[in-house]
Amino acid sequence: MPTEIQMPTNRIGLTKKEYQGLTTTLCSGCGHNSITSGIISACYDLGIHPHQLAKLSGIGCSSKTPAYFMNRSHGFNAVHGRMPSIATGVEVANRTLINLGISGDGDSASIGMGQFIHAIRRNTNLVYIIENNGTYGLTKGQFSATADYEALDHYKNINKYQALDLVELAIICGATFAARSFSGDRKQMEALIKAAIAHNGCAILDIISPCVTFNDHKESTKGYEYMKEHDVPLEELGFVPSFEEIKVDYQPGEVKDIELHDGSHLLLKKLKEEYDPTDRKKALETISKAKDEHQVLTGLVFFKKNMPSHHELLKLPETPLKDLTDKELKPSHEDFATLIKTFN
Amino acid sequence: MLYTDLTMTAQQAKIINNFSVKVATTNGTGSQSANNIFFKSLVRMGIHTSSKNLFPSNIQGLPTWFVIRACPKEYNTMRQTAEVWVLVNRGSLEKDLKEIKKGTVVLYDSPGLEVPQTVEGAIYYPLPFSKLSRENFDKPRLRTLLTNVVYVGCLAALFHIDKKIIYEVIHDTFSEKPKVIDVNLKAIELGYDYVQKNIQKKDPYSYKPDTKTLGKMVIEGNQASALGCVMGGASVVAWYPITPASSLSENIEKFSDTFRKDPKTGKRNIAIIQAEDEIAAIGMAIGAGWAGARAMTGTSGPGISLMNEFIGLAYYAEVPVVICDVQRVGPSTGLPTRTQQGDIRLCAFASHGDTRHICLYPGTIEEAYEITALSFDIAERLQTPVFVLTDLELGMNLWTATPLKYWEKPYDRGKVLSKEDLDKMKSFSRYLDSDGDGICYRTFPGTPNPHAAYFTRGTGHNEHSAYTEDNEDYHRIMMRLKKKIDLSPKYLPKPIIEENKKAKIGIISIGTSHHAVVEARDELSSKHGIQTRYLRIRAFPFHEEVLTFIHQCEWVMVVEQNRDEQLTGILRNDFTEVVSKIHACAYSDGLPLRPSIVTDKILEVNSRAN
Ligand SMILES: Cc1ncc(C[n+]2csc(CCOP(=O)(O)OP(=O)(O)O)c2C)c(N)n1
Ligand code: SF4
Ligand SMILES: [Mg+2]
């Protein structure tokens, strides 16, 4: 009698399969597919109940990916550049959800720039992932606003305009969590996705994600080859979820421990100089300097603790607004009559 | 005793409670507060009064007119001419003086304005509004503000407004600022006293206590709509400031502080977000509606233009959301502070591709409240955007209305499957028409059942909400959506019909055009012997009663406030079998519609028809 193969399960008894989605329709080798796998692993490891997560996105190859992970979570593929507003609506309607937003560099750095900035400004409860390939994948390779100055595109056109750096911008706009990663560095990426989920507020995660079809040529600064040579991790990252004990095997003083909102920890072993991700001025300086040296800094670039989230700013009740009933939404007859009397 | 000093008493004055007063002032000088005191005092005297505030898109220094019409027949339109003028603004003087005719009564600021008393038969009262204010109040700002209150005092003495009532109104208006009460009372007294001592009444106009408006409330349309939102259960409001819609959302905020706030914790059972633009505002409302809250946005035409892409998404992906459109004059920035019914077509078919949206058209204060409250049930029942179209005339003017009643109707949350429902099911398909009414079942994110989740998208989808570009799938879903919208009228407020067995001519109107129609119908019958029957549309898609009504008439006149016959066009499109019977009285110049425009158009078509 053949023995049934027991699939491994996570702490809430679900198999990895239960975190997967439909088969991807993206090009094989597309960086976005690695991010999809990273998200699946991160959510599986954390033991997130799929129904407690909402997947939100804009339009683009990147924004299609929520269909390819977490089939058991509600998903909303909205319009181009407007994922953050959908996320804001969802977070206020149901404060118990984890909002996982997926966007692209076209989606966030151009058409959606306003919403990107204002989600940060409000500290919307959102894991905001930008799958950044320096190009408009879905419309076949036009330059995006994150493409480097004088970069070449697939058709050998030269980019005339300066590049926007979404992490730098996020920090300037008051982000409470700003990080960059590379889809080719699964370990770092997963640690940052987990930390972003544990963060209370808007977590900006810009992930360089090569477009193999339109922007992975030799000269591309968002391609695999360039990234392999120029990716400079700021720290070696270890994520310790709230349900695990922290065991540190580093020398004292070598590791910075960042405690996150839900009690989990992000352990940072410094690799680059004396980098301190809680120092805003230093963070901006370091990014700027690295750019001059053609380095792509990855890791947790900036983190600020204890900033009130949008829920707190709006003084929302504990009960999700979607669950309020007639009784809580309507005043008493007496209070209504008192108000009506003031109109005379 | 109060009136005995005036040569003509209320009894002797021949025209009672039946004249208009037009005040010409400058915006930003506090005239609105004075005018509201004037208006409310008349209402408390029981006199049927309507008010129209004609103000510029500017914060300070441009001409503003305020027209107050007392009318025993209880009409609410603005008159073409006013019998009494109050001139305080030098800027508009030249224009205003052109309106002065034989019999017009002119109160003007003197010293201050140079008013040549040249129109024969006009009655001139030079009055020192600004001088009295200057001499009696020290701060410059106060002097400007109270000049307006001084003319209210003068009006009170000249036309016999009960001073006691004015005092009460002032007390109630400024109940939280006692210092303001004293200066306002003093300003009233100054004007009143001056007229009593120095003016001999030469005109026939007077106010006299009546019972028509006793117990009525005085309220702006946007306040009524806002109250409708709160009573209708709105729990997420996202908006971006725009005249004439801002005060709608601002009043929701105010009412929420009274009704939704826990005094102990300060927590509020509502999220009100001022978005970065209208695209974000509608996005937030759609996100919240999708996640299960009763969500809305309030805006005007330019905002609707920006929201178009998202509105199409909500239609196609079937997300409930309420959009209150307080219409103003377009195209473009247009006349931002003037009224129009210019978004009828825009809202009915907003966004690219084939769409058709539920639109509701309140025409009165009571309807602004009730229809807005109901709109949340309709949106959730039909899982689609619902537009509530009012306009600047309704939204930003003070109206008298019967006190609004508590919204008793329990909320209809529509077809939503809970965990328990899903536990009994083997599978769930979001866009499956299992009841045959075109309305499918939805689930909220956060529902703890493995079948609950589905993927919402604006791209082509099949019954299982899976991506598809298949021609048959696309066509089938679009036809099911059409069925849903076609069957929707049973959930929408029916048209209001006023039968008239003797009439061959029918009038169809919408929203605030109603007020001109009421008056025009009386005029047609009393002056021209023309009987009409009347139908007022309150929802799109149209009820079958509208078609029946047109069938029953020889011809109908569709009255609306825009140039391009927007409502007429939709009626002609939807009711091709009666196209030749449908005539249009479509007129817009930014001012509230005048009855004479309706009367003239009907007379014109009638003479051609005969
Ligand atoms: C309003 C609007 N304008 C344009 C488009 C066309 N469009 C689709 S995807 C896209 C760019 C996507 O680029 P990005 O966000 O970087 O995603 P990627 O495909 O590179 O992952 C554009 C311009 C659209 N869908 N909607
Ligand atoms: S076009 Fe580029 S971004 Fe789109 S799927 Fe292919 S590789 Fe990925
Ligand atoms: Mg891109």
Q: Do A330 and B407 touch (CB under 8 A)?
A: yes
Residues of chain A with pLDDT under 50: none
Domain membership flag for residue A297: yes
Residue type, position B267, single letter: K
Decide if B446 touches A, using CB distance below 8 A: yes
pLDDT digits (tens, 9 = 90+) for A191-248: 999 999 999 999 999 999 999 999 999 889 999 999 999 999 999 999 999 999 887 6
Please give the ipTM for the structure prediction.
0.97
* pLDDT beneath 70, residues of chain B: 1-13
Q: Which of A82, A126, A138 to mutate to test the interface with B (most CBs of B within 10 A)?
A: A82
Q: Whose C-alpha lies nearest to ligand 2, atom 6?
A: A27
* Ligand 2 atom nearest to CA at A215: 2
Contact B283, A82 (CB under 8 A): yes
Query: In sequence order, what are the residues at sequence separation of 6 or more whose Cβ sits closer than 8 angstroms to the Cβ of residue B297?
Result: B237, B238, B239, B278, B281, B282, B284, B285, B303, B307, B321, B322, B323, B324
CATH code of residue A58: 3.40.50.970
Which residue of B216, B252, B270, B306 to mutate against A (max A Cβ within 10 Å)?
B270
Nearest CA in chain A to B273: A314
Task: Please choose from A24, A27, A132, A139 the residue to mutate so as to test ligand 1's pocket, defined by most ligand atoms within 8 A of CB.
Answer: A139
Residues of the domain holding A114: 25-313
Looking at the complex, report in whole angstroms how far the Cα of residue B281 sits from the nearest Cα belonging to chain A.
Answer: 7
A96 touches chain B (CB under 8 A): yes
Which H or E run contains B206? strand B205-206
Q: Atom 9 of ligand 1 has which residue's CA nearest to it? A: A60
Biggest alpha carbon–alpha carbon distance for chain A:
86
**pTM of the predicted model, to two decimals?**
0.96
Task: State the CATH class of domain B3-215.
Answer: alpha beta
- A339 chain-B contacts, CB cut-off 8 A: 227, 255, 258-259
Establish if A218 belongs to a structural domain: yes
Q: How far apart are CA A235 and CA A298, in angstroms?
A: 8
Cα–Cα distance for residue pair B445/A55, rounded to 1 Å? 10
**C-beta separation of A264 from A258 below 8 A:** no
3-state secondary structure B89-139: CCCCHHHHHCCCCCCCEEEEECCCCCCCCCCCCCEEEEECHHHHHHHHCCC
Distance A21 CA to ligand 3 centre (A): 21
Give Cα B186 distance to the centre of its chain: 34
Q: Which pLDDT value is given to residue B10?
A: 47
- Ligand index nearest the alpha carbon of residue A106: 1
Q: Which residue of A has its CA nearest to B284?
A: A89
A212 lines ligand 2 (CB under 6 A): yes
Alpha-carbon gap: B298 to the closest alpha carbon of chain A (Å): 15
* Whole-number pLDDT of residue B5: 40
Q: Which of B217, B447, B453 sits opposite A71 (nearest CB)?
A: B453
Neighboring chain B residues of A67 at a CB cutoff of 8 Å: 455, 467
From A62, A113, A136, give the residue whose CB has the most ligand 1 atoms within 8 Å, as the site to mutate. Answer: A136
Query: Please, are residues A169 and A117 in contact by the beta-carbon 8 Å criterion?
Result: yes
Residue A125 lies in a domain: yes
Structure-token match 């004292």, residue found: A252
- DSSP, res B329: B
Instruction: Provide residues with CB under 6 Å of ligand 1.
Output: A 59-62, 80, 104-107, 131, 133, 135-139, 144, 211
Gap from A108 CA to chain B (nearest CA, Å) = 14
CATH number for the domain formed by residue range(s) B496-609: 3.40.50.920
Q: Which residue of B43, B217, B443 is in closest CB contact with A340?
A: B217
CB-based contact A326 B233, cutoff 8 Å: yes
* H-state helical runs in B160-216: 163-173, 178-198
- Mark which residues 99-158 of A lie under 8 Å from B by CB: 114-115, 117-118, 122
C-alpha A59 – ligand 2 centre gap (Å): 13
Q: B293: which 2 tokens?
A: 């809250």
Structure tokens at B110: 């003197």
What is the pLDDT, as a whole number, of residue B60?
82
| B273 closest CA partner among A80, A5, A313, A295 | A313
Is residue B218 less than 8 Å (CB to CB) from chain A? yes
Let me know if the fold of B219-401 is the same as that of B496-609: yes
Domain ranges of chain B: 3-215, 219-401, 415-472, 496-609
* Number of structural domains in chain A: 1
Condensed to tens digits (0 to 9), the pLDDT of residues A30-68 reads: 999 999 999 999 999 999 999 999 999 999 999 999 999
| Residue A330: closest C-alpha in chain B | B231
- The verdict on domain B219-401 having CATH code 3.90.1640.10 is no
Compute the distance between CA of residue A43 and CA of residue B173 in angstroms, rounded to an integer: 58
